[in-house]
């Protein structure tokens, strides 16, 4: 089963709770606090692996969860950190945050990793809170919850050249001729049901990868036939090899199939339609195809197209050597051009440094309730044990220190009105 797009729900591990503990040793009646910190929760990491070809495993297991951190213990013993969860995906996987509609990363190299959910911090044990004023703190912090996200993973096959054309144009036969790939070949539509990759050897030092994209038909971008399911796989390619069945070329409209495929590429993505192409007329071994090719060529250039044209026979191998050499030279020139662009050093004056200020919290009034949002303030709430009076006093001290009380007063809050942070609701009173 080939799966190239999945929605998954990931959750990083919660941090372990801090411990409340005191030394209890013979002849030491008033031992100090020795509660250890909780361990960090495991994070969720997505890693590219060249041995994996599909997102099938995640399709059947869409819920992924990292390990929790262990709670702290007495004797200043820190809890064990939770193990990170590493999710293996194919090269070419694009990771998107579903709720924020934000691209988190694009995994294109073997071993490349992307941290997608941070594990929660371990809560501090009561030993952390001992000071000259508070000698015997009887509270600790709870572990911070791990991040939870909904992601969409989209696989876009990494290949140098994308091979497109109508079903039965001979793409699978061509790929089997120019590479060691063994695609399924038969005389019926949609023989190729998944993208098939082949490595083409130009000479002793050069090779390139070709992806045989499943057959397109008119209306593919709207879901007809195999639909637009596989069009995304040619978005990364440097060049499109457009294969046309020479026996289907007609006098009435020699460019008919050429126009249809290009219209589908345009409808799917304007950027995709502007990729450079090489147009190849196949089945040159059949009677009448050379004549059809001449007709196609005249009409092609008459209408202003300037793509390189080749006549081949994928079955007999006629013209394939020249085609492979041209593709190899094109990719060599492309790589040299890219290196020269990367080598250009921009002058310091052309660089812009943008500083983005993120406030520690935001207050929004909804009806009679003041809702407070902010990473730091929400973390403080999540890690506070509100059933413990000392922990509650520590919480009030913390929110006052970061300026929340003043900000609420500035917003016009009155005594007795409610403040909501995460799922907790508090009643505001000035001291």
| Longest pairwise C-alpha distance within the chain | 107
Given this model, what pLDDT does residue 185 score?
A: 47
pLDDT band at 192 (very low <50, low <70, confident <90, very high): very low
Q: Taking Cα atoms as reference points, which of 337, 273, 284, 348 lies closest to residue 310?
A: 284
pLDDT of 34 > 80? The answer is: yes
Q: What is the pLDDT of residues 359-413, one digit of tens each?
A: 789 999 988 899 999 989 999 999 999 999 999 999 999 998 999 999 999 999 9
pLDDT band at 202 (very low <50, low <70, confident <90, very high): confident
Given this model, what pLDDT does residue 172 score?
A: 85
For the residues 229-252, what does the mean pLDDT come to?
A: 86
Confirm or reject CATH 3.40.50.300 for domain 161-338, answering yes or no: yes
Q: What is the pLDDT of residues 116-154, one digit of tens each?
A: 999 999 999 999 999 888 889 999 999 999 999 999 999
Write the class of the CATH domain 362-427.
alpha beta
Q: Could you tell me which CATH number the domain at 5-155 has?
A: 2.70.210.12
Token output for 103: 């691209």
> pTM for the whole thing?
0.74
pLDDT band at 425 (very low <50, low <70, confident <90, very high): very high
Alpha helix positions (H), 162-255: 171-178
Alpha-carbon distance 173 to 198, whole Å? 12
Q: Is 382 within 8 Å of 142 (Cβ atoms)?
A: yes
Count of other CB atoms within 10 angstroms of residue 16: 31
pLDDT band at 353 (very low <50, low <70, confident <90, very high): low
Burial of 238 (0-12, 13-18, 19+ CB in 10 A): middle
Given this model, what pLDDT does residue 159 score?
A: 86
Q: Is 36 within 8 Å of 70 (Cβ atoms)?
A: no
pLDDT of 226 > 50? The answer is: no
Token look-up 């950027």 returns 271
Count of other CB atoms within 10 angstroms of residue 31: 12
Given this model, what pLDDT does residue 188 score?
A: 44
Alpha-carbon distance 212 to 337, whole Å? 26
pLDDT > 70 in the chain, percent? 87
Alpha helix positions (H), 218-319: 256-268, 270-273, 289-302
Cα end-to-end span (Å), the chain: 65
pLDDT band at 54 (very low <50, low <70, confident <90, very high): confident
Given this model, what pLDDT does residue 271 score?
A: 80
| Highest mean pLDDT, choosing among 5-19, 24-38, 232-246 | 5-19
pLDDT of 337 > 90? The answer is: no
Q: Which stretch of 5-14, 70-79, 194-203, 253-262 has the lowest confidence by average pLDDT?
A: 194-203
For the residues 181-198, what does the mean pLDDT come to?
A: 55
pLDDT band at 36 (very low <50, low <70, confident <90, very high): very high
Given this model, what pLDDT does residue 360 score?
A: 83
pLDDT band at 189 (very low <50, low <70, confident <90, very high): very low
Query: Half-sphere exposure of 42 toward its Cβ, with a 13 Å CA cutoff?
Result: 17
Given this model, what pLDDT does residue 18 score?
A: 97
The residue extents of the domains of the chain are 5-155, 161-338, 362-427
Question: 371 vs 24, which has greater pLDDT?
Answer: 371
pLDDT band at 183 (very low <50, low <70, confident <90, very high): very low
Token look-up 């970061």 returns 402
Given this model, what pLDDT does residue 272 score?
A: 79
Mean pLDDT computed over every residue of the chain: 86
């Amino acid at each position: 089963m080939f799966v190239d797009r999945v929605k998954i729900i990931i959750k990083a591990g919660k941090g372990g709770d801090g411990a409340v503990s005191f030394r209890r040793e013979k002849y030491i009646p008033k031992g100090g606090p020795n509660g250890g910190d909780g361990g960090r929760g495991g994070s969720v990491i997505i890693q590219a692996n060249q041995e994996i070809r599909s997102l099938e495993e995640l399709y059947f297991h869409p819920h992924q969860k990292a390990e929790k951190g262990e709670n702290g213990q007495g004797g200043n013993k820190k809890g064990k950190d939770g193990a990170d969860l590493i999710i293996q995906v194919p090269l070419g996987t694009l990771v998107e945050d579903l709720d924020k509609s934000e691209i988190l990363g694009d995994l294109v190299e073997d071993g490349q990793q992307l941290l997608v959910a941070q594990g929660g911090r371990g809560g501090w044990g009561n030993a952390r809170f001992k000071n000259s004023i508070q000698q015997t703190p009887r509270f600790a912090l709870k572990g911070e919850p791990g991040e939870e996200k909904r992601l969409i993973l989209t696989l876009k096959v990494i290949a140098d050249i994308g091979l497109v054309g109508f079903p039965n144009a001979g793409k699978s036969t061509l790929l089997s001729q120019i590479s060691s790939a063994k695609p399924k070949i038969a005389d019926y539509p949609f023989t190729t049901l998944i993208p098939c990759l082949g490595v083409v050897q130009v000479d002793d030092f050069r090779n390139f990868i070709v992806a045989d994209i499943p057959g397109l038909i008119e209306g593919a971008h709207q879901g007809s036939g195999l639909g637009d399911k596989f069009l995304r796989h040619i978005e990364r390619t440097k060049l499109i090899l457009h294969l046309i069945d020479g026996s289907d070329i007609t006098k009435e409209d020699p460019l008919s199939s050429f126009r249809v495929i290009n219209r589908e590429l345009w409808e799917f993505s304007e950027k995709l339609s502007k990729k450079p192409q090489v147009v190849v007329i196949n089945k040159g071994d059949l009677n009448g195809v050379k004549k059809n090719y001449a007709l196609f060529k005249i009409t092609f250039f008459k209408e202003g197209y300037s793509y390189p044209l080749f006549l081949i026979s994928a079955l007999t191998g006629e013209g394939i050597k020249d085609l492979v050499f041209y593709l190899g030279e094109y990719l060599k020139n492309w790589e040299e051009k890219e290196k020269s662009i990367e080598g250009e050093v921009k002058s310091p004056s052309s660089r812009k440094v943008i500083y983005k200020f993120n406030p520690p919290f935001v207050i929004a009034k909804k009806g009679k309730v003041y809702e407070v949002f902010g990473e730091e303030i929400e973390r403080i709430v999540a890690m506070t044990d509100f059933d413990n009076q000392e922990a509650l006093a520590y919480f009030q001290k913390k929110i006052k220190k970061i300026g929340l009380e003043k900000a609420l007063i500035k917003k016009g809050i009155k005594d007795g009105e409610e403040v909501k942070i995460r799922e907790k609701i508090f009643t505001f009173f000035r001291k």
